[in-house]
């Protein structure tokens, strides 16, 4: 079941129009990732998707009953100790805290949480507070998981553990991520927000095509594509394949063919991560992998 954000606008009482007409499908088959500059409206849109904020206009269709939400920041004066806070949030979601305690403990261990039991939330280190935030969002077995910068503040081991958990998740997931890690999740669908709007494929900020590639130029297309790349490549025009792995396809195509190639890739459900001209040194080095090779 998809969750759909339809015609979402949001203007804060201050007059800031943070979201201006966003339609977005959150697909259960792959994580939906929002990118964009600071202030683009990502956190606002996530709060609306999670049901933590009511939009000025528009609606969220088919939001599941249980939503796991990691906000961009916690209230600074949260005095509850961690365990009581986790129990409190379980009750807010209509769940019995005992039912989520085992999964919560498993997650705390997996993420290497080492904050003191009795310490108020407001006195935890940033990373430990982030780990608790992730645990409350993940432990409730959410129908929709909404994560605002989930890798922020995590140490390397915790970041890897989170990446592995999200990669293995089946279900609706919507997240923002400045670190770039989310783009590597299998099948990740990337959308760029710009000034409160989803940037279209033609937006230069979304598809950074060089203004005028010189004759003979070769472009490297980096794509996020759901599913097995083998069958996908058979449906696409020939190209030198650099990388063909779960969720990721990197190919080289002559510049004059790149528009047709991109159009074909978008038509089979891929999202464009970047389009860059190859430097002559890269071209001499040749592709790193021969998977699916040849024009």
Ligand X SMILES: Nc1ncnc2c1ncn2[C@@H]1O[C@H](COP(=O)(O)OP(=O)(O)OP(=O)(O)O)[C@@H](O)[C@H]1O
Binding site for ligand X (CB under 6 A): 12, 14, 16, 18, 36, 38-44, 72
**Minimum gap (Å) between residue 219 Cβ and ligand X:** 29
Cβ distance to ligand X smaller for residue 41 or 127: 41
Which strands, in side-by-side order, build the sheet including 32-35?
67-70, 144-148, 172-176, 32-35, 189-194, 197-198
Cβ distance to ligand X smaller for residue 40 or 60: 40
Nearest CA to 20 out of 200, 189, 198 is that of 198
Cα maximum dimension of the chain? 66
**Minimum gap (Å) between residue 244 Cβ and ligand X:** 32
**Minimum gap (Å) between residue 40 Cβ and ligand X:** 4
Could you list the beta-strand ranges (E) of 157-203: 172-176, 189-194, 197-198
The Cα–Cα gap between 135 and 130 comes to 9
The b-or-e profile of 230-265 (16+ CB within 10 A means b, else e) is eebbeebeebbbbebeebbbbbbbbbeebeebbeeb
**Minimum gap (Å) between residue 191 Cβ and ligand X:** 12
Cβ distance to ligand X smaller for residue 137 or 265: 137
The answer to whether the CB of 14 falls within 8 A of the CB of 155 is no
Contacts of 273 (CB under 8 A, 6+ apart): 183, 190, 222, 223, 224
**Minimum gap (Å) between residue 113 Cβ and ligand X:** 24
Cα 220-225-226 angle, rounded to 5 deg: 165
Cβ distance to ligand X smaller for residue 7 or 39: 39
**Minimum gap (Å) between residue 130 Cβ and ligand X:** 15
Cβ distance to ligand X smaller for residue 74 or 120: 74
The Cα–Cα gap between 35 and 192 comes to 5
The Cα–Cα gap between 134 and 145 comes to 10
Cβ distance to ligand X smaller for residue 16 or 125: 16
Cβ distance to ligand X smaller for residue 18 or 50: 18
**Minimum gap (Å) between residue 10 Cβ and ligand X:** 8
């Amino acid at each position: 079941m998809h969750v759909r954000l339809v015609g979402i606008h949001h203007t804060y009482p201050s007059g800031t129009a943070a979201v201006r007409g966003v339609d977005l499908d959150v697909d259960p088959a792959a994580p939906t990732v929002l990118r964009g500059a600071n202030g683009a409206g990502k956190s606002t849109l996530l709060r609306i998707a999670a049901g933590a904020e009511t939009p000025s206009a528009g609606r969220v269709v088919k939001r599941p009953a249980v939503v796991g939400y990691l906000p961009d920041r916690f209230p600074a004066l949260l005095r509850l100790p961690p365990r009581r806070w986790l129990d409190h949030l379980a009750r807010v979601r209509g769940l019995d805290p005992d039912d989520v305690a085992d999964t919560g403990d498993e997650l705390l261990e997996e993420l290497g949480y080492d904050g003191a039991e009795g310490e108020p939330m407001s006195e935890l280190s940033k990373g430990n507070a982030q780990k608790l935030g992730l645990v409350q969002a993940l432990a409730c077995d959410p129908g929709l998981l909404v994560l605002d910068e989930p890798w922020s503040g995590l140490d390397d081991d915790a970041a890897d553990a989170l990446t592995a958990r999200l990669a293995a998740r089946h279900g609706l997931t919507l997240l923002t991520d400045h670190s770039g890690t989310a783009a590597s999740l299998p099948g990740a669908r990337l959308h760029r927000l710009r000034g409160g709007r989803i940037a279209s494929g033609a937006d230069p900020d979304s598809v950074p095509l060089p203004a005028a590639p010189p004759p003979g130029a070769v472009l490297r297309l980096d794509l996020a594509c759901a599913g097995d790349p083998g069958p996908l490549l058979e449906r696409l025009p020939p190209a030198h394949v650099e990388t063909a792995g779960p969720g990721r396809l990197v190919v080289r195509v002559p510049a004059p063919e790149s528009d047709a190639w991109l159009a074909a890739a978008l038509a089979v459900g891929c999202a464009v991560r970047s389009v860059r001209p190859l430097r002559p040194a890269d071209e001499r080095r040749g592709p790193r992998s021969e998977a699916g090779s040849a024009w």
